[in-house]
Chain A
Amino acid sequence: MKKVLLFGNEAIVQGALEAGAGFATTYPGTPASEIGDIFAKIAKKQKIYFEYSTNEKVALEAAAGAAFSNVKSIVSMKHYGLNVASDSFLPLVYFSCPLVVVVADDPGCWSSVQTEQDCRWYSRLANIPMLEPSNSQEAKDMTKEAFAIAWKYKIPVLVRLTTRVSHSKSAVKVGKILSAKTRGKFNKKFGLGSTITVERHVKLLEKLEKIKEVVEKSKFNFAQKDNNKGKIGVITSGIAYSYVREALKELNAKLPLLKLGFTYPFPSEKVRKFLSKIMEVFVVEELDPVVEEETRKLTDKKVYGKNLLPEAGELKPEDVLIALSKLLRKKLPINLIKEFSETVPKRIPFLCPGCPHRPVFYVVKKVLGKKIFAGDIGCYMLGSYPPYELENFVVAMGAGTGISHGIAKTTGEKPVIFIGDSTFFHAGIPALLNLVYNKSNALVIVMDNRITAMTGHQPHPGTGFTGMHEKTKTIQIEDIAKACQADFVKTSNAYNLEQLKKDIKQAYDSKGVSVIIAKGECRLLTIRKITRQGIPIQKFEIVKQKPGLRELEQFACPAIRKKKGKYFIDEDLCWGCSLCKQLFPDCIRIKKQEEE
């Protein structure tokens, strides 16, 4: 078998292909984004179906429909994507729906602003079998196992990843890819069953009893062979396992170690057996004490866990090393004792040079001044940072619009909402409808950069192409806003400051629900297109200084900087959007290309 280096997310796709998956869906969300992106890349070649759905709920439902039609299907999403999908996720477990659901948590919130939730609780809430890979090999193997369990017991199965599993590379033995079935026949038996929910609940619990027998024998729950001495044992799951192995090696300790990978239904017999041979146990896991609480239920012996490890934030290898050294009264490696004492200023991410969101923030601040501003999920969250400081809250996909309605109703003010194009399709439409239906007063600015930018440039209903790279209808946001009967609807060119000023003022001043679609392609995309054609990027330069140029600091393009009191354009950063020239046509001009 060939061994290759794969990211956890790549290994998930490999596992799905080896299991014969023929249908895959997602809505992009990091740390899970690459799962969909890899499917998008290989779907045609592997002759399987893949789509970017409009949101996670729809993605899950589409995958369920394929499963109901006897096609092996998989859906992936980030942690709160599962919150969006949960409305269908929970009832689907009651059906005979053989489906693999992959969810990626983000401990440390590296790519997340909403919550640091631990999706393992969903297994308990929904009664869904769950596997927790700790590296890429397991990500592949467990995905295959998930398909096997799903199809044998006709039940959805959850594979739960974390950022460090998704975004770490390690060696994977790749196997044969099964030729996938993409066509099936709707199987009534999967969907129907009893119409009485309580009866279906009873049946689900019976299924889980049978799966528990599999869990108790599963190779994914194993006691480490070479580690067996000592009165203290360790139980661990997920990425924490790798930190435990590393720490034990550094401390030169060989403790009894139980690694759990198939964790719901909980392998209580296996854990009980493990506990019988030790006096005390240390449960090492990231985020919530899920395994710890299960363990406590099984024993009166001393259980250590979150009293020695952080519950919030990412678990780090040194956290585990320090905790174990305390517990075992072993000396720490000398190089850990010296404290790193520097306070290094945080690097605040900025909108790219030439970003179409910048002129919108600049103009809104100029024209509207102090108002109530709502943000949403996307690159435009960066509008909350100085100098714009335009978003008073960012909660969840589409929530900016929904919450603003309540604010408008109770304060009498007209809030201004920033929402991205992909976010608008995902969760903005029902909220916009509600604004109109319930006679609200708000300005919705759709930051339409023509792509799902932040997660890595995935297409959406407004782009005109699908996840299979096929042409499709281009849905116009303006048409939707009009169909929702908003009082004022206008598309404005984000790269034209004068037009933007006029349109935003007019939209705000008009009564009721106003919608501005500020359209301008993500500059990264434009630059990529230009470069691919071999055309040099136009650069700009400042040729005249005057006190008024201070205004450029409010515009805040990262390419414009100040040295010894003079403003200049860093040509390494300038992406030629021309917006600064629009502000100061007398001081800024196109830089002449150097002759080669």
Chain B
Amino acid sequence: MKPFNLIITGYGGQGVLTLAEIIAKAAFVQGYDVKQAELHGLAQRGGSLQCHVRFGKEIFSSLVRKGNANLIIALETVEALRACYFANKKTIILTNKKIFRLPLELKVILKKIKKYSKKLYVVSADEIIKKITGDITMVNTYVLGYALAKKLLPLKKEIIWQTLKEKIHPEFLEENKKVLGEAFRKSPSI
């Protein structure tokens, strides 16, 4: 398989790193060569966060190069636009409908993002999971579920679920399952 280049982005505290780790591990379990790059540091304190996950037959660089992403998953809309640096005409973008602490207009940003993508999916993940779980902690799980439901990731659902189970505290497993289930229900196209 040609390398699959994925950018996962959001702001510190949204679970970007966990999401990247789950996808990278699942790709590895599925037998691909995997490289993943992430940044630590001030991320906890609301800064931009970008993870790169690449998998395929043979991967050298852990960084996706400019204009070479197959898929961008964003947990925040402005971060989705920032990640369009890695987009090209064939890139699929999936973003949470949310602007966090920046004086920008959602509509304007979404219009810009659209320019950089072949297909743009926009989900109101925060609102949906708040209804299910009471807070927005599991926004990453919801978006992952949505990506799987729409078949945006060339990875097996069962392997992702297995990886998630290993990664997540058993206490939160049931809720994660609920959130994933909801993501599948919200994508009626499959």
Taking Cβ atoms with an 8 Å cutoff, the residues of A that contact B are 5, 30-31, 33-34, 110-111, 135, 163-164, 167-171, 241-243, 245-246, 249, 316-318, 321, 333, 335-336, 338, 340, 342, 344-352, 379, 382, 454, 456, 524, 558, 572
Contacts and interface: CB of A to CB of B under 8 A. Distances in A.
B45 A351 contact: yes
Given A171-B33, A335-B68, A317 B61 contact: yes
Contacts of B64: 317
B93 interface: no
A5 B25 contact: yes
B67 A454 contact: no
B60 A169 contact: no
14 contacts: A30-B40, A167-B37, A168-B35, A168-B38, A169-B24, A246-B61, A342-B82, A344-B82, A347-B47, A347-B48, A349-B42, A350-B45, A352-B44, A454-B41
A316 B36 contact: no
Nearest to B49: A347
A382 B45 CA distance: 10
Nearest to A456: B40
Given A167-B38, A454-B42, 19 more contacts: A31-B40, A34-B40, A110-B39, A163-B39, A164-B37, A168-B38, A169-B34, A169-B36, A169-B37, A170-B34, A171-B28, A317-B61, A317-B63, A335-B90, A342-B81, A344-B82, A346-B48, A349-B46, A524-B44
Interface string B1-33: 000000000011000000001001100100001
Question: Chain B interface secondary structure, helix, strand, loop or mixed?
Answer: loop
B34 A572 contact: no
Given A342-B112, A349-B12, A558-B46, A33 B40 contact: yes
B65 interface: yes
Contacts of A344: 78, 81-82
A168 B44 contact: no
B45 A335 contact: no
Given A318-B65, A345-B78, A246 B46 contact: no
Contacts of B157: none
Contacts of A345: 78, 102, 104
B47 A245 contact: no
A246 B88 contact: no
Contacts of B45: 349-352, 379, 382
B151 interface: no
A106 B42 CA distance: 14
Contacts of A246: 60-61, 65
Interface in B69-89: 78, 81-82, 84-85, 87-89
B135 interface: yes
Give the top 9 A-B pairs by smallest Cβ distance, nearest first: A111-B41, A335-B88, A317-B65, A168-B62, A245-B60, A169-B36, A349-B47, A318-B66, A335-B67
A167 B40 contact: yes
B39 A167 contact: yes
B41 A336 contact: no
Contacts of B87: 340
Contact of A342 (B33, B36, B84, B88): B84
Contacts of A242: 35, 60-62
B160 to A, nearest CB: 15
Contact of A558 (B21, B41, B47, B101): B101
A336 to B, nearest CB: 5
Given A245-B60, A336-B66, A351-B45, A168 B37 contact: yes
Nearest to A352: B45
Contacts of A340: 66-67, 84-85, 87, 116
Contacts of A170: 34-36, 59, 62
B152 interface: no
Contacts of B34: 5, 169-171
A316 B88 CA distance: 17
Given A110-B41, A168-B35, A335-B89, A347 B66 contact: no
A350 B46 contact: yes
Contact of A111 (B21, B42, B46, B81): B42
Contacts of B135: 572
Interface of B: 11-12, 21, 24-25, 28, 33-42, 44-48, 59-68, 78, 81-82, 84-85, 87-90, 101-102, 104, 112, 116, 130, 135-136
A406 B40 CA distance: 35
Contact of A5 (B36, B60, B65, B66): B36
Q: Which residue, of A338, A342, A456, has the highest number of chain B Cβ atoms within 10 A?
A: A342
A82 to B, nearest CB: 18
Q: Which residue, of B47, B60, B135, has the highest number of chain A Cβ atoms within 10 A?
A: B60
A169 B24 CA distance: 9
B11 A347 contact: yes
Contacts of B12: 349
A164 B62 contact: yes
Contact of B102 (A111, A316, A347, A352): A347
B35 A336 contact: no
Contact of A169 (B42, B46, B62, B85): B62
A191 B40 CA distance: 38
A343 to B, nearest CB: 10
Contacts of B62: 135, 164, 168-170, 242
B113 to A, nearest CB: 9
Q: Which residue, of A34, A340, A524, has the highest number of chain B Cβ atoms within 10 A?
A: A340
A560 to B, nearest CB: 12
Q: Which residue, of B36, B38, B61, B130, has the highest number of chain A Cβ atoms within 10 A?
A: B61
Q: Which residue, of A169, A243, A346, has the highest number of chain B Cβ atoms within 10 A?
A: A169
A426 B66 CA distance: 40
A132 to B, nearest CB: 16
Nearest to B43: A349
A345 B100 CA distance: 12
Contacts of A31: 40-41
B3 to A, nearest CB: 9
A111 B11 CA distance: 16
Nearest to B81: A344
Contacts of B90: 335
Contacts of A350: 45-46, 101
B18 to A, nearest CB: 13
A394 B20 CA distance: 33
Q: Which residue, of B40, B78, B116, has the highest number of chain A Cβ atoms within 10 A?
A: B40
A321 B63 CA distance: 13
A241 B60 CA distance: 8
B81 A321 contact: no
Contacts of B116: 340
Nearest to B25: A5
Contacts of B67: 318, 333, 335-336, 338, 340
Contacts of B41: 30-31, 110-111, 454
